Structure 1
């Protein structure tokens, strides 16, 4: 398991400087292959350039990166239950981890066995016995500045105000993040979002339902919608909005919403328990504040952990989602079907 842990240490702790990876590994005795599941889309090539390629060069271990679903929990379980072991390392969020490590049912995660001393400078809560957080992302809003040339939306209340801010709208086809934003639009203070009042959130969504033109399903689709102008404003993950901006689209980010953390975990029972560890970052915020010394100031202002941006973001309550995802999702999917 040493090389797998080394992969996670490298990418989790050092892969936070947007292109300044610091390899902590010793070269492997023999080349091998690790399959790493990440979020795909615009993230995949950036991960490859910034971290997978340097890791391969340093260790001799080839990284095959594959894209998983936006919520990889079911895929993760199927991989372990079937014994297929299609992934050696996977990118997951804390709420994914809670659903994958329910000791009353079945634990799907292998221990990392990474000492806290190996995570110097990492923010509190970013390293547990089965997860290493490396990339902080915001569930925020993005809009096309060519459409909103005069009055521009500044928060979720404006998104709900279709009279003042007319335009084609997109929303994520999942309750996580969406319910929180619906409550913010309904006047709930960020500090009072949890426990989530699901019924109130759905009533808030009732007010905007008929104005939603696209219910998007994954990050790549979200970037394309913003980049092509198929929607004028949408909820988004900040990295997906930045991908559209980088491609030249006139897109602006509104820093109001929630934030969460992507990290690495290892599937239990993998046949390559001695083969992996590593980390990365794209347009998401580092979990090590020291890395801002290495990031261009203009780039830093587009990251969720930039102080002015973080002020308007509430950290997702993953414990609440871990316990309530199934019931909340059932209500949300029923709401969608009744549209």
Structure 2
């Protein structure tokens, strides 16, 4: 007769079990109400494919509720606002970053409360959730340069990126004021912990000094990846997942974890008739094992600290929220941009036309 061993019950194992029971109870209620599917608006392309493998398909298998993913616009704020105001719920959940959330909250009440419990958020990094939003994916705005262009080493800070004498080469920058103005201030010597509120005049003065050396102002993540994979530019700002995609494709690029971090997460529109099962899906995406699976397929950082215990060290090393990388990043202040986007964006467009 084989030996038997006592089961070790920990607080986390109990919470995990209760979480699974809560998920199935939510699924049963949803099916009883005639809900058979959730429609989720995400960013499309590679991130959506990664979410399909990490969140959508496993959720379908565990609950029997089908997940339909549709891409939203590059800036989904107007779509989200109109959907709530007209009560035409084409989405049950939407992937929004912190700036999107701040802009919508500035305008009115557009989000359902998530009813998160301490158990749901116990292992999340600080600032990765609120009563209406849960972050699950972190990306960095950072620096990349062609290794061959700087055989003795390239810039490691934004003042050095701006130093065209010491580090000559063709540069590219994102054609958007958000984050670009922050990088311009860092280049001008503003300490990371004193970035906000942004000194907009100083930022544009800093940008003006570099403008003649910017060969390309990129406007999409796909374009940025192509630039890093080609020899069109020597240095660029970049989004971390796009930079990692270029490296994975064989681009000889050096990445510098110096810049900002931005978090994408889930929100439920106010009045959504399927809010109950949508909340269950949000809690599901907070799980460490699900976030780790997402990070295996796209190089965005998990917000659940325990996700790293599921990841190989070499994979963890390329993610923004890995401790060694995260310490070089400053939180993007979405609330400031939520209040100032309009007039700053107009000024940026005027700057680009000068």
Are residues 39 and 227 of structure 1, via their aligned partners in 2, closer, same or farther at CA, if it must alter by over 3 Å?
farther
Distance 2:75 2:231 in 1: 26
After alignment, is 74-83 or 254-263 more displaced? Answer: 74-83
Q: Which structure ranks higher in relative contact order (CA pairs < 8 Å, sequence separation ≥ 6)? A: 1
Distance 1:143 1:24 in 2: 47
Deviations 1:250-287 (A, max 9, x none): 22211111112211111223343344224354322222
How far off its partner does 1:241 sit? 0.9
Deviations 1:72-99 (A, max 9, x none): 2223223323443232211112222121
Distance 1:214 1:300 in 2: 31
Q: Does residue 258 of structure 2 align to residue 260 of structure 1?
A: no
After alignment, is 110-119 or 189-198 more displaced? Answer: 110-119
Equivalent position to 2:323, from 288, 295, 307: 307
Residue 25 of structure 1 corresponds to: 23
Q: What RMSD in Å do the two structures reach over aligned CA positions?
A: 2.5
Report how many residues are paired.
317
Per the normalisation by structure 2, the TM-score is 0.81
Residue 273 of structure 1 corresponds to: 275
Equivalent position to 1:241, from 240, 243, 259: 243
Are residues 24 and 152 of structure 1, via their aligned partners in 2, closer, same or farther at CA, if it must alter by over 3 Å?
farther
Are residues 327 and 283 of structure 1, via their aligned partners in 2, closer, same or farther at CA, if it must alter by over 3 Å?
same
Are residues 162 and 75 of structure 1, via their aligned partners in 2, closer, same or farther at CA, if it must alter by over 3 Å?
farther
Equivalent position to 1:322, from 338, 345, 350: 338
Residue 289 of structure 1 corresponds to: 305
How far off its partner does 1:59 sit? 1.7
Q: How does 1:1-339 map to 2 (within 5 A)?
A: 25-26=23-24, 28-29=27-28, 30=31, 32-102=36-106, 105-276=107-278, 277-278=281-282, 279=285, 280=291, 281=294, 282-338=298-354
**SS at 1:249 equivalent:** coil
**SS at 1:210 equivalent:** helix
Deviations 1:168-207 (A, max 9, x none): 3221121111111001111111112111101110111111
Distance 2:72 2:149 in 1: 33
Are residues 213 and 67 of structure 1, via their aligned partners in 2, closer, same or farther at CA, if it must alter by over 3 Å?
farther
Distance 1:289 1:65 in 2: 27
Larger Rg: 2
Distance 1:58 1:23 in 2: 11
Residue 5 of structure 1 corresponds to: none
Q: Which runs of 5+ in 2 are unaligned?
A: 1-14, 286-290
How far off its partner does 1:47 sit? 1.5
Per the normalisation by structure 1, the TM-score is 0.85
Deviations 1:187-239 (A, max 9, x none): 11111211110111011111111222222222233223223444332211111
Distance 1:158 1:328 in 2: 26
